[in-house]
Each structure stands twice: as C-alpha cells, then as structure tokens.
C-alpha cells in the first residue's frame, strides 16, 4: 500500500502528523495538520478523519477546508468538533479572509460529521470505520478502518499504560489489524511527561491544593490525568474565566474518562473550605518560571510494544509523530522489534 505523509514544524522538531492513502477506490486522509499541504493534496480526498483537537493535527483545515471536494466527508468525535469549532472561529477572526470566504469556510466546517466511540460506521459498501478513545485529550480518538484491502488502525496521539486498568484506553485485542500507524513520540524511551504527572499525583495526595499555570487545554488535560490516577477522593477543579469555553464543552459533553471520579467544575477564586482536595487551573504562566508545560501525554516505549503486540493478527507497526531529526536514533530503537519509521513524503507499506 502506498502511503503519503505530511509533516509539520521547523526542521529541528519536524514530525509527521498527516497521512493519505487509497483503498477500494477511495482516498482517505488521516488528520490534516501538515504545514506544506496544498490545495491539490486535499482536492481528491473522499474521507478525512480528525483524531483530536491539537492544531498540529488539523490546522490545515483552516486554510484548505474549501479545497476539499464538496462530497468529501469529514469525521471526528463530537467533543473534538466542539473544541476545534471554538479555536476555528478564533483563528478565522485573526486570518481576516473577508465575509464571503469566512462564510464559505464556516459552512463547510459545520458539515463536519461526528461519530461515537465503539460504533462501527459504514462509509461505503466496502469501507467501515470505528473510533476508539486514545487517551490523549478529551474526545481524542484512534481510527480503525476496514476495507477488503486493508485493516488499518491509526492511533493518532495516544496515551496508554499497560497493567493499569484505569489508564488503559482500549480497543479490543480481538481487533484484526494488518497495519498500525502509531504515535512514535516516546519510542526513544523519553517518558518524562508521564513521570512528571505521576510525581504531581503523589504530591496531590498530601496537599490541599495544586496549581497549574498552563494553556487551558493542557491544564484541563492534566486535571483529567490526575483524576484518572485516583489520587483524590473528590476533585474540585477551580478555574479562571479564560478556561470557560473549554470547560463548558467538557461539562456539556459529560466527557469524563472514568465515571467513578467525581469532577466538579467551579469558578471560584478560593477553594471552598469544606472541600478537602482541590485542583486549581489557570492559563497564566508562572511568573517566576515562565514555562508552559506540555501535558499532552504520549505513550511510553514499553507500552507501545505492549499495545502493538496485543493483537493476535501480528500487524506491521509504523511510527509517525516522532522527531524526524532523530531518525537514526529512532531506527536503532525500532530495530529489535521490527517496527518501521514512516518518512515524510511517499512510503510503501
């Protein structure tokens, strides 16, 4: 199978985030973040799937959405659609396309279809898709496509921790998979983010309040992760005004990774005295550190191996989303497992 990939970022941190291939006469695109995507790259696409809200996976839509064919169907989860709609509107104001073009873009955006996790959707006589939670952000999905030619699982960005039920985002191991395109971010064993989260989780057990000064989506995501680690008996997420839209969507969607964890959203400056454990979210940066922590967790190396090997069908494993600059190091890391790296441009799978 021929797979075309598109990357994003400066040379020093460039990674592949967009994939395109053809099966049973249909052209499929997985994510749309590539910064060198052109109108001709998207003009023949029949189905586009957006895995999650992070811009590196869909930002090409802002520029190119009107260049997709009129009958191209774009799919994502409802949560992701709602979140990217907010970002989309903000970006459109900033880009200043003019009234007519802006309307055209918004119309196309509104036509994006939404899918539920675990529900198989027939796209065509020969083509079916099912989304599974990927554990990376609220509403983020893995995309499983089945045609007579190929059974392909694209994980998007993912988080998964083997042996921990509450941090395992599953798709059934009975799934028949020929090819997995996986999140290769941490395949060098660089798993500092998971360690960081776990350290924070440890701290939360002992203190009454923890503050995170990060971008809204990251802050909310961290709170979600902490809630999954079950370090709190009760979670009260205190947030600042500029997080409103994000939290509103999550609250409306009722998207909570685990029903057993109680997350209360409250917009208070101070934590109410009678609430024992609090997570405070803020989008402002720490003035003394001035850092913006990135909390979109990616699967660790060990768990990648575990995840890929769970399928009885022994799929071929390909990595995207790794730093292309470190190709040789990743290659060494992949060798013992016979995992393959995707290059930017054309690939033969």
Chain residues that interact with Zn ion, rule: CB under 5 A: 54, 157, 296
Decide whether 55 or 271 has the Cβ nearer to Zn ion. 55
Helices 244-253 & 216-228 angle (0-180, nearest 10): 40
Contact 214, 290 (CB under 8 A): no
Strand 316-320 and strand 340-341: the pairing is: parallel
Decide whether 41 or 53 has the Cβ nearer to Zn ion. 53
* Shortest separation between residue 55's beta carbon and Zn ion, angstroms: 9
* Shortest separation between residue 52's beta carbon and Zn ion, angstroms: 6
* Shortest separation between residue 298's beta carbon and Zn ion, angstroms: 8
* Shortest separation between residue 44's beta carbon and Zn ion, angstroms: 26
* Shortest separation between residue 70's beta carbon and Zn ion, angstroms: 29
Q: How many CB atoms lie within 10 A of CB 276?
A: 11
Q: Is 228 helix (H, G, I), strand (E, B) or coil?
A: helix
* Shortest separation between residue 142's beta carbon and Zn ion, angstroms: 13
Decide whether 34 or 296 has the Cβ nearer to Zn ion. 296
d(CA 70, CA 43): 9
Decide whether 23 or 134 has the Cβ nearer to Zn ion. 134
d(CA 129, CA 71): 18
Two tokens, residue 216: 């809204």
Decide whether 111 or 190 has the Cβ nearer to Zn ion. 190
Mention every residue, 6+ apart, whose C-beta is less than 8 A from residue 197: 222, 225, 226, 229, 295, 297
User: Read out DSSP for 253-282?
Assistant: HT--S-TTS-EEEE--SS--TT---EEEEE
User: What are the start-end ranges of the H helices in the chain?
Assistant: 39-42, 60-64, 78-95, 99-110, 192-204, 216-228, 244-253, 301-308, 327-334
* Shortest separation between residue 268's beta carbon and Zn ion, angstroms: 30
* Shortest separation between residue 183's beta carbon and Zn ion, angstroms: 9
d(CA 158, CA 140): 8
Decide whether 58 or 68 has the Cβ nearer to Zn ion. 58
Decide whether 280 or 321 has the Cβ nearer to Zn ion. 321
Element spanning 181, H or E:
strand 179-183
Decide whether 15 or 54 has the Cβ nearer to Zn ion. 54
């Amino acid at each position: 199978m021929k797979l075309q990939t598109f990357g994003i970022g400066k040379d020093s941190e460039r990674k592949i985030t967009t994939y395109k291939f053809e099966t049973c006469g249909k052209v499929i695109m997985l994510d749309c973040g590539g910064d060198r995507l052109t109108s001709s790259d998207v003009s023949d696409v029949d189905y586009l799937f957006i895995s999650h809200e992070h811009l590196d996976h869909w930002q090409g839509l802002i520029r190119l959405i009107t260049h997709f064919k009129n009958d191209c169907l774009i799919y994502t989860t409802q949560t992701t659609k709602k979140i990217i709609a907010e970002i989309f509107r903000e970006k459109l104001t900033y880009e200043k396309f003019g009234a007519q073009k802006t309307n055209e873009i918004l119309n196309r955006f509104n036509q994006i279809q939404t899918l539920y996790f675990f529900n198989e959707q027939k796209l065509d006589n020969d083509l079916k898709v099912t989304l599974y939670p990927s554990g990376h952000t609220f509403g983020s999905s893995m995309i499983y496509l089945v045609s007579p030619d190929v059974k392909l699982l694209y994980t998007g960005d993912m988080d998964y921790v083997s042996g921990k039920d509450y941090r395992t985002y599953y798709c059934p191991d009975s799934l028949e998979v020929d090819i997995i395109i996986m999140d290769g971010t941490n395949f060098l064993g660089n798993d500092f983010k998971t360690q960081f989260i776990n350290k924070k989780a440890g701290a939360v057990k002992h203190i009454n309040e923890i503050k995170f000064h990060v971008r809204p989506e990251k802050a909310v995501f961290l709170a979600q992760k902490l809630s999954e680690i079950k370090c709190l008996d009760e979670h009260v997420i205190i947030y600042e005004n500029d997080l409103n839209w994000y939290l509103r969507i999550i609250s409306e969607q009722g998207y909570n990774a685990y029903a057993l964890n109680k997350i209360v959203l409250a917009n208070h400056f101070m934590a109410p005295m009678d609430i024992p454990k609090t997570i405070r979210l803020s989008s402002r940066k720490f003035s003394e550190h001035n850092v913006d922590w990135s909390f979109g967790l990616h699967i660790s190396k060990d768990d990648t191996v575990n995840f890929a090997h769970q399928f009885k069908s022994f799929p071929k494993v390909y990595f995207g989303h790794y730093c292309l600059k470190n190709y040789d190091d990743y290659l060494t890391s992949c060798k013992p497992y016979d995992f393959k790296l995707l290059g930017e441009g054309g690939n033969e799978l």
